[in-house]
């Protein structure tokens, strides 16, 4: 059994995927660290329109360098997942903030637990590495996703993950930017995939390396992605809440009109009566839309599940 889980000797295909944009300062070290941690893995660097020496540094370090012209991490992830054929995939940022030494244990956990995703929850004591604003935003977004889709992960925006082939080839990859990490988690939770999370060291960027993350712009894009995913995956709940709000407004506005009519036989406030009637009708329409879209969402979920099941489960060679 111990022989089976010796990942450094196993002939299974492991791909390390590194999306990067202008990471000349760090990319060579990231490539060399993962080559040392996983000698049998193939390290791919997907350059996203870098204007510095990223490509030359990655090639000199021994990585397989490819290119994606559409700007944004989501576009790069979509291209990588479509192009690369492997049994297990390690996705990591090229900024040298994640620990390559954690990769073998994450791979081992992927196999032992027959998981489809193992995520690295960032553990850091350096305030400069993981700023308080980013930390609070990550916690808030993680709790929102957990409340809506269920628990399963404590670091929603981690950029260090290990995936099975099943996950990668069934992942729709619809986003274009940093919100792709949110898509990973929602995809796994929506299909009830087995997933695991481990604590992994996280460190500051080296001197001369600059973050591409814009706290407010990317934060708003992530929130928008969550709203869109909720609407797509939970339409009945969304439209039921909207219908309930409209119904309550209609009842509040219409009650005095109905009472006046019962007492006098007259409708003294016709505009209010029409508004109340319209709100109640909209509430009924919202509920109907929710039921229809829920059936559509269920069909989409079944199709994604069938796509997921077309790939065999991960079995490491003996």
What pLDDT sits at residue 75?
A: 92
Q: Environment class of residue 73 by beta-carbon count within 10 Å: exposed (0-12), middle (13-18) or buried (19+)? A: buried
What pLDDT sits at residue 4?
A: 41
What pLDDT sits at residue 262?
A: 87
Reported confidence tier of residue 261, pLDDT bands at 50, 70, 90: confident
Q: Please report how many Cα atoms fall inside a 13 Å half-sphere around the Cα of residue 244, on the Cβ side.
A: 6
Distance CA 87, CA 165 (A): 5
> pLDDT tens for residues 104-155?
999 999 988 899 999 999 887 666 555 666 677 788 888 888 888 887 788 8
Q: Which residues pair with 16 in a beta bridge?
A: 43, 90
Only one residue has tokens 């090229």, namely 94
> pLDDT tens for residues 66-102?
999 999 898 999 999 999 999 999 999 999 999 999 9
Q: Is the pLDDT of residue 1 over 50?
A: no
Distance CA 227, CA 30 (A): 34
This prediction has a pTM of: 0.81
Question: Distance from CA of residue 120 to its chain's centroid?
Answer: 13
User: Chain-wide mean pLDDT for the chain?
Assistant: 86
Angle (deg, nearest 10), helices 180-190 and 73-83: 50
Instruction: Of 221, 231, 72, give the one whose Cα is nearest residue 137.
Output: 221
- Helix, strand, or coil (residue 228): helix
Distance CA 76, CA 181 (A): 13
Q: CA-CA-CA-CA torsion for 84, 85, 88, 92, nearest 10 degrees? A: 0
Give per-residue burial for 196-234: e unless 16+ CB within 10 Å, then b.
bbeebbbbebeeebeeeeeeeebbebbbebbeebbebbb
Q: Between 283 and 215, name the one with better pLDDT.
A: 283
Distance CA 293, CA 73 (A): 30
Q: Between 148 and 289, name the one with better pLDDT.
A: 289
What pLDDT sits at residue 3?
A: 39
């Amino acid at each position: 059994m111990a022989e089976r889980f010796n990942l450094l000797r196993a002939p299974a295909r492991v791909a390390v995927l590194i999306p990067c944009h202008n990471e000349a300062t760090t990319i060579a070290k990231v490539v060399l660290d993962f080559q040392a941690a996983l000698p049998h893995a193939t390290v791919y660097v997907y350059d996203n329109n870098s204007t510095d020496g990223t490509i030359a540094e990655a090639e000199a370090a021994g990585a397989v360098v490819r290119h994606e012209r559409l700007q944004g991490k989501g576009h790069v992830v979509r291209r990588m997942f479509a192009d690369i054929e492997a049994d297990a995939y390690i996705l990591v940022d090229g900024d040298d903030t994640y620990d390559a030494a954690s990769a073998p244990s994450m791979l081992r956990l992927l196999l032992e637990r027959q998981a489809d995703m193992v995520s690295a929850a960032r553990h850091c004591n350096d305030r400069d590495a993981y700023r308080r604003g980013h930390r609070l935003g990550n916690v808030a977004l993680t709790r929102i996703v957990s409340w809506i889709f269920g628990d399963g992960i404590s670091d929603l925006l981690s950029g260090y993950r290990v995936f099975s082939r099943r996950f990668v080839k069934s992942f729709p990859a619809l986003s274009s930017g940093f919100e792709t990490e949110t898509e990973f988690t929602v995809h796994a939770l929506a299909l009830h995939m087995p997933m695991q999370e481990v604590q992994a060291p996280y460190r500051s960027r080296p001197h001369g390396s600059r973050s591409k993350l814009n706290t407010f712009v990317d934060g708003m894009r992530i929130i928008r992605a969550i709203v869109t995913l909720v609407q797509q995956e939970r339409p009945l709940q969304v439209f039921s809440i909207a219908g309930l709000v409209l119904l309550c407004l209609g009842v509040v506005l219409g009650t005095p009109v109905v009472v006046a009519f019962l007492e006098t036989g007259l409708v003294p406030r016709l505009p209010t009566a029409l508004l109340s009637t319209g709100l109640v009708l909209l509430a009924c329409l919202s509920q109907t839309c929710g039921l229809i879209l829920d059936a559509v969402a269920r069909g989409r979920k079944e199709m994604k599940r069938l796509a997921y099941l077309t790939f065999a489960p991960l079995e490491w060679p003996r």
